[in-house]
């Protein structure tokens, strides 16, 4: 028999369409993640775990990372970090973990899952999240740009990445114990660089002879094709911006000679061109105002000196 206190029931009922009684819900505890160095040679910083405390509340659990809505059977209603007494990480740092309380309705659909949780078959949980920074344990730089490689030792120091600045949490998922090998944390990096492409980049920058696997070469070739396509689109957009600027400036900046303008815009990057075009558009709109009657300033109108707002 699982005990639910009234405070917990109140928290749970924040998420339910109609109020649940204590016999209607199954409540359980899970450890979502911790600050141990994982199999990817990464660890959450203590601050990241603290931030997760709030971020995971309300997040639904799914089975085997399949986000179909009928897989979403449990929801976290409270979360806290704790330092279990006398426990240390593999490198001697005090062990810290993020524990959650979750509930699911006691329905026929959930009965198998509840049974497997009760019996301890499903008790491993993995999470999906995005972080802003991966900091190298050796040099303190972003691991994607420094020369160190995760999992290697430098002197007697292991290189791993500390995951900081959590940006998002997507899910948490039950993992059956026989598949424990897969249990762990699914992390994504905000820069969208994959582990493989980071390794390729490091090899390319290493200034030493390197071996590339067939997969790495394919990834590199695909990446070049994508970048070429993006570059072509960017060039097309740039050309279009320059043409628009030349056309707009004829009326907005009639005093400026065409070749000086051309010289100036050739030195601008795409963001500057975009800003310049917008400001020319505003200037042109002021010279030839086409605005609703609503914005007319009647005081100035009287003097035939029309002024317009909200352009």
Task: Enter the tokens of residue 9.
Answer: 């029931």
Cα(1)–Cα(108) distance, integer angstroms: 18
Cα(256)–Cα(245) distance, integer angstroms: 12
- Identity of the residue, 147 or 287, whose beta carbon is nearer to Zn ion in the bound complex: 147
Angle at 159 between CA 158 and CA 163, to 5 degrees: 125
- Identity of the residue, 75 or 148, whose beta carbon is nearer to Zn ion in the bound complex: 148
User: At closest approach, how far in Å is the CB of 46 from Zn ion?
Assistant: 20
User: At closest approach, how far in Å is the CB of 155 from Zn ion?
Assistant: 13
User: At closest approach, how far in Å is the CB of 163 from Zn ion?
Assistant: 15
CB 311 within 8 A of CB 284: no
What's the 3-state SS for 9-41? HHHHHCCCCCCCCCCCEEEEEEEEEECCCCCCC
- List phi, psi (to 5°) of 224: -60, -40
User: At closest approach, how far in Å is the CB of 137 from Zn ion?
Assistant: 8
- Identity of the residue, 34 or 162, whose beta carbon is nearer to Zn ion in the bound complex: 162
User: At closest approach, how far in Å is the CB of 158 from Zn ion?
Assistant: 12
Rule CB under 5 A: which residues touch Zn ion? Answer: 136, 138-139, 146, 148
User: At closest approach, how far in Å is the CB of 146 from Zn ion?
Assistant: 3
Cα(264)–Cα(254) distance, integer angstroms: 15
Nearest to 39 by CA among 185, 152, 164: 185
Residue 85 burial (CB count, 10 A)? 7
- Identity of the residue, 49 or 136, whose beta carbon is nearer to Zn ion in the bound complex: 136
- Identity of the residue, 42 or 171, whose beta carbon is nearer to Zn ion in the bound complex: 42
Q: Which residues contact 253 (CB under 8 A, 6 or more apart)?
A: 261, 280, 283
User: At closest approach, how far in Å is the CB of 142 from Zn ion?
Assistant: 8
CB 28 within 8 A of CB 36: no
- Identity of the residue, 114 or 143, whose beta carbon is nearer to Zn ion in the bound complex: 143
Cα(59)–Cα(3) distance, integer angstroms: 22
- Identity of the residue, 159 or 175, whose beta carbon is nearer to Zn ion in the bound complex: 159
Q: Which H or E run contains 96?
A: none
């Amino acid at each position: 028999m699982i005990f639910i206190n009234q405070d917990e029931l109140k928290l749970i009922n924040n998420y339910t369409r109609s109020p649940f009684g204590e016999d209607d819900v199954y409540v359980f505890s899970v450890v979502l993640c911790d600050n141990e160095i994982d199999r990817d040679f990464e660890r959450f910083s203590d601050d990241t775990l603290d931030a997760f405390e709030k971020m995971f509340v309300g997040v639904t659990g799914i089975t085997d990372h399949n986000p179909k809505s009928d897989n979403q059977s449990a929801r976290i209603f409270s979360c806290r970090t704790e330092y279990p007494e006398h426990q240390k990480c593999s490198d001697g740092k005090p062990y810290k973990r993020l524990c959650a309380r979750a509930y699911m309705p006691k329905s026929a659909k959930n009965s198998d899952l509840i049974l497997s949780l009760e019996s301890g078959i499903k008790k491993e949980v993995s999470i999906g999240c995005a972080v802003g920074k991966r900091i190298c344990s050796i040099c303190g730089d972003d691991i994607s740009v420094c020369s160190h490689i995760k999992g290697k030792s430098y002197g007697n120091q292991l290189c791993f990445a500390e995951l900081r600045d959590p940006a998002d949490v997507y899910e948490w998922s039950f993992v059956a114990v026989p598949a424990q090998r897969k249990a762990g944390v699914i992390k994504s990096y905000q820069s969208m660089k994959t582990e493989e492409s980071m390794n390729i980049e490091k090899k390319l920058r290493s200034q030493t002879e390197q071996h590339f696997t067939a997969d790495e070469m394919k990834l590199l070739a695909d990446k070049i094709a994508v970048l070429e396509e993006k570059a072509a689109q960017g060039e097309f957009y740039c050309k279009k911006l320059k043409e628009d600027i030349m056309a707009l400036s004829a009326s907005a900046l009639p005093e400026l000679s065409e070749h000086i303008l051309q010289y100036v815009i050739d030195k601008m990057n795409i963001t500057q061109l975009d800003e310049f075009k917008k400001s020319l558009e505003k200037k042109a709109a002021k010279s030839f105002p086409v605005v609703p009657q609503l914005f007319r300033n009647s005081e100035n109108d009287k003097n035939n000196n029309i002024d317009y707002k909200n352009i």
